[in-house]
A and B are shown apart, each in its own frame.
Chain A
Amino acid sequence: MAVDNISFQVEKGSFFSLLGPSGCGKTTTLRMIAGFEEPTSGELYVGGELMSGVPPFRRPTNLIFQHLALFPHMNVYENISFGLRMSKTPTDEIRKDVTEILDVVHLSGLEKRRIKELSGGQQQRVAIARALVNQPTVLLLDEPLGPLDLKLREEMVVELKRIQREVGTTFVYVTHDQGEALAMSNKIAVMNGGRIEQIGAAAEIYERPSSPFVASFIGRSNIMKGRYVDGEVFVDGLGRIKISSEMDNGSSVLVSVKPENISLGRELTELDNTFKATVRDAYFQGANTSYKVELENGFALSVLVQNVHGMELFGQDEHVKVGWNREGSVAMAL
């Protein structure tokens, strides 16, 4: 079973992401909304209309395919106008709508180009225009940025968000890339194994993961497993750490600490949890430096330090201190 017992609502005009690793059921979910797969049970409503038994060509949704699926035997104009021609829209109206949408996706003047003659980014835009010109109730996007190189992908993230704001259409976006999802979404549903693990705003999902899976999937968290006793967690191989939430005494808990919530320096003061550590690796990344450190008892941690002006950089085998406040960690019952 690809998807099991999922339920969610997407607010009109919002940017909603289904985020998860490959095989988590996010694409199946999207294809069910588009009508290419029928759910075996349950109901699906688009714009308040029940979609059971409605074939894809009668649904008020449009899908942007992972590999775009642009028609190779048609030029840009013919591709974009395809949907309108199918619905028998008058020619002058088609011309007006296509011209308008070409302007939105910044492709004006390329109407007569063959698809093969376009760059990857331009093909993306044609796919977006071809779907949006039909004014769908919901626009579905199936990892459309996957085939693009990193720089173009970053550009398109900004573009997609701008286009979504401009047209005000509801977007449901499927991706395995948390960066894309966090940057664009009003709300994110994190999926795993055919189920939804957590739904929430980007910051909420990032700061307050509700399950171990979400904690490890979003960002690179330091995950520690231990037993809760009186405001502290006894972590196997690390020792005692203070956390901010109240749990049942004696229960097994998982504590997640984001690398950027950990401080690193020669001396640290007034932190709830402080440990002596040795730098094992240091990757200078420009704006940040990413450290891999080893605590005295062998426990490994990832630390991300922002390189503000005058910041001291540490090299391999240097002795430092690392620490974090209890608010910088999230605890989950196991």
Chain B
Amino acid sequence: MKKESGAKAIPLGLIRKRKRLPVLVNLTPSLVWYVLFFGIPVGLMFVYSFWKQVYVRIIPIFTLENYVAFFTIPMYPLLLVKSLMMAVGVTLASIALAYPAAYYLALRIKKHKYMLMLILWGPFWTSYLLIVLAWKLILGYNGALNSLLIYLGLIKEPLTALVYSPFATILALVHIWAPWLAFPIFVSLEKMDKSLLEAAADLGATPRQAFLRVTLPLSMPGVLVAVLFVFIPVVGEFVTPSLIGGPGGIMFGNVIENLFHRGTNWPMGSAFSFVMLVVVMVTAILLIRRIGLQALMESL
């Protein structure tokens, strides 16, 4: 309303131009960044994925060979499915840890809750690599966990299956991501009108019913944001599994990394990246559609 009344004095065209200019100025840096470091590389990869490599030479001839390879060699789809399952595991375990913490901080604590939230973020401020290496020490053959179990007399010989396993990968990833996840959940619980819980109680809902019918559904956008934040990067993980995953803990991301890095088959690596991208995007879209993009963004 205010803008309209202010516009009356000057011709409308002028106003439009004047308004458009700052918008462009504001957007330009991020737009340049986005195009240079996301748009162009992704476009290049897309083109590469339809080329082929012979020894060290990339031959720019259109072929579907790389995509065919993915679907005809069973190891690749299986590894992708395994990566998805591990990502689901990491996400679920992280939420199971993060939700109660976020709930407690948002609804039960009155004093210092923002400070406590900051402290909860502690692991996130530690180097990613340090966390993974710390788990290597804890889970290793002569590690802290084996020593403890032997000391307690629960085992005679150190367990070898602890480190270098999918389990170790999941553990480290949960450790890294859980504090992150608490944040969007905390925000959506904080934003919830607390009188809704009183209303639920007033209408005869026990604390458990009130949680299931009111708190949980209203915090779902935050949970979903958390899921997207964790699930997507974890599907493509390759550092953590290569450090403590061992041969059995290999994920699809390791395959792609090998194709780019050691195997140097960039076209195939590009194609595999795009397969993963499509799978992750479809999952994300299905999840977002359950809540709606707007509700999701508003919960951030």
Contact = CB atoms under 8 A, between A and B. Distances in A.
B199 A65 contact: yes
Contacts of B213: 82
Contacts of B193: 67, 69
Interface in B205-224: 205-206, 209, 213-214, 217-218
Given A72-B218, A73-B218, A86-B209, A55 B201 contact: yes
Given A65-B199, A69-B195, A71-B196, A134 B204 contact: yes
Given A134-B203, A134-B204, 6 more contacts: A63-B198, A63-B202, A65-B198, A73-B218, A86-B200, A86-B205
What 8 pairs between A and B have smallest CB-CB spacing?
A83-B203, A69-B199, A86-B204, A69-B195, A56-B201, A57-B201, A86-B205, A63-B202
A140 to B, nearest CB: 9
A56 B198 contact: yes
Contacts of A63: 198-199, 202
A122 to B, nearest CB: 17
Contacts of B203: 57, 62, 82-83, 86, 130-131, 134
A34, A57, A72, A131 — most chain B CB neighbours (10 Å): A57
18 contacts: A35-B202, A36-B201, A56-B198, A56-B201, A57-B201, A57-B205, A57-B206, A58-B204, A63-B202, A65-B199, A67-B195, A72-B218, A73-B218, A82-B200, A82-B213, A83-B203, A86-B200, A86-B205
Which bracket fits the contact residues of B?
A: 10 to 19
Given A71-B214, A73-B217, A73-B218, A87 B196 contact: no
Contact of B199 (A55, A61, A71): A71
Contacts of B195: 65, 67, 69
Q: Is the interface of A mostly helix, strand, loop or mixed?
A: mixed
Nearest to A85: B213
Interface in B141-177: none
B218 A62 contact: no
B168 to A, nearest CB: 39
A57 B205 CA distance: 6
A72 B218 CA distance: 8
A103 to B, nearest CB: 20
Interface string A97-111: 000000000000000
Contacts of A71: 196, 199-200, 214
A131 B199 CA distance: 9
A148 to B, nearest CB: 18
Interface string A28-62: 00000011100000000000000000011110011
A133 to B, nearest CB: 9
Contacts of A73: 217-218
Interface string A130-143: 11001000000000
Contacts of A87: 204
A209 B203 CA distance: 38
Nearest to B194: A69
Nearest to B206: A57
Nearest to B218: A73
Nearest to A72: B218
B204 to A, nearest CB: 4
Nearest to B193: A69
B198 A57 contact: no
B212 to A, nearest CB: 11
B200 to A, nearest CB: 7
Contact of B202 (A56, A70, A72): A56
Nearest to B205: A86
B190 to A, nearest CB: 15
Contacts of B206: 57, 86
A72 B213 CA distance: 12
A87 B200 CA distance: 12
Contacts of A70: 199
B195, B201, B204, B214 — most chain A CB neighbours (10 Å): B204
Nearest to B196: A69
A195 to B, nearest CB: 26
B198, B202, B209, B218 — most chain A CB neighbours (10 Å): B202
A112 to B, nearest CB: 17
A65 B204 CA distance: 15
A86 B218 CA distance: 18
Nearest to B207: A57
Contacts of B202: 34-36, 56-57, 61-63, 131
Contacts of B201: 36, 55-57
B203, B205, B209, B213 — most chain A CB neighbours (10 Å): B203
Interface string A76-100: 0000001100110000000000000
Nearest to A86: B204
A128 B204 CA distance: 16
Interface in B62-80: none
A218 to B, nearest CB: 30
Contacts of B209: 86
B202 to A, nearest CB: 5
A123 to B, nearest CB: 13
A34, A55, A56, A58 — most chain B CB neighbours (10 Å): A56
